């Protein structure tokens, strides 16, 4: 048994709830080292995405992720829109044709998402961007043979926290150079929400991967 289409929808709905709850916090983080719109951008994009998913009918998990991608690209302003859009598109492509998603496929999908963000953002690790959450989580999954949600959550949280000490080399925060140090990267915090809600759904639904 693996993750089903319905569980994919539940994941995105949970991600949306968490983002709505933390909208002001995400914007505050972006206010410190960017232009203060990240909470608004994410809240708008995920609200529209959750709405779209509640109205649509989907044959397989990849179709859900593809719809997320399209909605995020069209509704999220700012740099994060195309980056999240790419992440979801790459996951959809990696999972195409699978009725249910097993551990290895999920791991490959997260790696594809991380690679997609790197390509699209022309960025690498340690540049204080959302990549610094997606990549460590992808590496962690690659080293495991089954889903360990605790380890997954710990990895994602530590990765997010580590962005605080990094100096931004990409995106708006890079204009601040050294002054970006000491603040969490907003996109890494929203990525933590997106990935941690996946682990939460796996736990809640008692999916054994
Ligand atoms: P904008 O920077 O256009 O205002 P957002 O505030 O919505 O867009 O998103 C900012 C986040 O996007 C940053 O915190 C960072 O994680 C991510 N980001 C910005 N530029 C890049 C890039 N080139 N590669 C990867 N992630 C990036
Ligand atoms: Mg911004």
| Gap between the Cα atoms of 182 and 167, Å rounded | 9
What residue owns the CA closest to ligand 1's atom 27?
129
> What per-residue confidence (pLDDT) applies to 3?
97
Burial class of residue 56 in the structure, from the number of CB atoms within 10 Å of its CB (0-12 exposed, 13-18 middle, 19+ buried): exposed
| pLDDT less than 70: residues of the chain | none
| Gap between the Cα atoms of 191 and 193, Å rounded | 5
Decide: pTM greater than 0.75: yes
Q: Ligand 2 being an ion, which residues bring their Cβ within 5 A of it?
A: 30, 34-35, 37-38, 78
| Gap between the Cα atoms of 117 and 113, Å rounded | 6
> What per-residue confidence (pLDDT) applies to 77?
79
The dihedrals phi and psi of 71, each to the nearest 5 degrees, come to -70, -40
> What per-residue confidence (pLDDT) applies to 78?
86
Listed as own residue / partner, the contacts of 94-97 with beta carbons closer than 8 Å and 24 or more positions apart are 95/60, 95/61, 95/62, 95/65, 96/60, 96/62, 97/60, 97/62
Which ligand lies nearest the alpha carbon of 46?
1
The 10s digit of each residue's pLDDT in 15-74 is 999 999 999 999 999 999 999 999 999 999 999 999 999 998 999 999 999 999 999 999
> What per-residue confidence (pLDDT) applies to 1?
76
């Amino acid at each position: 048994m693996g993750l089903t289409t319905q569980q994919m929808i539940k994941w995105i709905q949970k991600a949306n709830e968490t983002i709505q709850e933390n909208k002001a916090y995400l914007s505050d983080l972006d206010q410190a080292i960017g232009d203060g719109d990240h909470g608004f951008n994410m809240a708008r994009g995920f609200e529209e995405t959750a709405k779209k998913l509640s109205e649509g009918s989907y044959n397989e998990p990849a179709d859900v992720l593809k719809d997320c991608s399209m909605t995020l690209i069209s509704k999220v302003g700012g740099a994060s829109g195309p980056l999240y859009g790419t992440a979801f598109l790459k996951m959809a492509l990696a999972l195409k044709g699978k009725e249910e998603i097993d551990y290895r496929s999920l791991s490959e999908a997260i790696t594809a998402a991380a690679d997609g963000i790197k390509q699209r953002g022309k960025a690498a690790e340690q540049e204080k961007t959302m990549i610094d959450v997606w990549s460590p989580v992808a590496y962690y999954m690659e080293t495991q043979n089954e889903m360990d949600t605790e380890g997954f959550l710990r990895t994602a949280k530590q990765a997010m926290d580590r962005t605080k000490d990094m100096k931004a080399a990409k995106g708006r925060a890079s204009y601040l150079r050294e002054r970006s140090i000491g603040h969490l990267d907003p996109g890494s915090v929203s990525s933590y929400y997106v990935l941690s809600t996946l682990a939460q759904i796996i736990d809640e639904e008692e999916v054994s991967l």
